[in-house]
A and B are shown apart, each in its own frame.
Chain A
Amino acid sequence: MDALAIVILVVVLGLVFDFTNGFHDTANAMATSVATGALRPRVAVLISAVLNLVGAFLSTEVASTVSSGIVKEGSGGIEITPVMIFAGLVGAIMWNLATWYLGLPSSSTHALFGGLIGAAIIGSGWNAVDWFNVLSKIALPALFAPVVAGVVAMVATYAAYMITKRATSRGAERGFRYGQTVSASLVSLAHGTNDAQKTMGVITLTFVAAGYQRSGTGPQFWVILACALAIAAGTYSGGWRIMRTVGKRITEVTPPQGFAAETSSAATILVSSHLGFPLSTTQVTTGAIVGSGLGKRLASVRWGTFGRMALAWLVTVPAAALVAALATLIVKTGAVGTVIVVVAAVAGMVAFWMLSRRHPVSHETVNVDEDVLASRRPEPVRAGESK
């Protein structure tokens, strides 16, 4: 298969990945605002989409490496070829769709890294991956992010409740809803400046690798535009399955908790990117919501839900790597192999979409959850449950 075809495939898959990145991460910023009723679902995703769009245009400084040092690129290392990027994107997209179907928030960045790792291992062997960087840039931050954000949100929630006498002072609930909307908007804007840029980088570096663009030049305007629109469209489409999990299934989020959690997320994300200690937005916001549950006395955190998420975070890199590795193996067989991978990828996307239609979650049902309804039932009813 000639180079141009692969480059076109990378552009298309890059935009698809950007779209999945958008709807995967809407929940990070907006799940708590939707859960507390601070914003109506459609309004929440609209605000988030616009801020992601704006953010994408604000930050177009293209990355100099595709994998941020996870794969040994450049001199002394290996060359990341368009074929590897193609396979990596397939792995990342499949993992994003699988976790979306299950309603689990997971880091799109880690999925992309995982895909590249898988493709690099098949392409050039185990030595192509900088395992130390895998540990220090993926594994340890994944461990720290929820803990740091969780403790911060716990303290903030406790303070909010103490100061407003458990939010019973007049107008407190409404005030917290306003505050929460603002904090959530900050998270959305930060997300736009961070995440759309990753896809721009992937596409631009593919052009460079294929010889269509000079090394060191910034992304083409149409690439910036397409990436910004793709992430905004993805964000607007909602990712309601994940939003329901984050907003309703970790803990019953109240306005003071939502405000404390979102503010903690915004602070943690801003501080971490400022200090060059990048933490996953997904893991930060999820940790903050758990912390807000702990900060409210007697509030119940559903550890089962959190456990499933943590497991998904653990599996993200290997799972995306496995799919990408498989894709690389098949592509290596030639043009027919590439066609097979493309067909399989499209079939996979359609399959996840069809599966999701069996139990659809929409902007109308995002706050309705059988589990939540069941747990709200008064005690005697639950005790005498006999179906």
Chain B
Amino acid sequence: MIAWSALGIEFIVSLVAAAGVVAVFALGLRLLAVGAPVEARAATDGGEQVAEGELSLSHSRPAWASLAAYLCFAVAVAAVLYGIYLIIPQFH
């Protein structure tokens, strides 16, 4: 008897957990970049270099984006803490 159902659950839970955390964290990073000038993207793509100071001067992130970004990171941190809780046997 191979535990097919355990394997199925394993797969689905891992998928949701991993993809969820990665997506939330990535969303946080994306939100941090809201308001950043388009040139920044061109620069990281290997395009024309833009002076670093010039970039940060024109970089103004709206408050909602900051808030949402921090919320995303908080979720990621919570996931890590839950992971530590699962790893350490003394907790359960």
User: A residues near B, CB below 8 A?
Assistant: 55, 58-59, 61, 136, 140, 144, 148-149, 151-153, 155-157, 159-160, 163-165, 168-173, 175-176, 179, 182, 186, 189-190, 193, 256, 259-260, 263-264, 266-268, 270-272, 274-277, 279
Contact = CB atoms under 8 A, between A and B. Distances in A.
Contacts of B27: 163
Interface string B38-66: 00110011000000000100010000000
A297 to B, nearest CB: 15
Contacts of B30: 163-165, 169, 172
Given A148-B14, A151-B15, A172-B29, A277 B7 contact: yes
B41 A193 contact: no
Interface bin, chain B = 35 or more
Nearest to B9: A275
Nearest to A132: B1
A148 B86 CA distance: 20
A171 B32 contact: yes
29 contacts: A58-B90, A136-B1, A144-B7, A148-B10, A148-B11, A152-B15, A156-B19, A157-B22, A163-B23, A163-B27, A164-B26, A165-B30, A168-B41, A169-B29, A169-B30, A170-B36, A170-B44, A172-B29, A173-B44, A179-B76, A256-B26, A263-B22, A267-B13, A267-B83, A270-B83, A270-B87, A271-B17, A275-B9, A275-B10
B45 A152 contact: no
B6, B18, B23: which has the most chain A beta carbons within 10 Å? B18
A376 B29 CA distance: 29
Contacts, number: 139
Given A140-B2, A159-B22, A276-B6, 4 more contacts: A157-B22, A165-B41, A168-B45, A189-B84
A interface secondary structure, majority: helix
A148 to B, nearest CB: 5
Contacts of B6: 275-277
Contacts of B22: 156-157, 159-160, 259-260, 263-264
A179 B25 contact: yes
A210 to B, nearest CB: 28
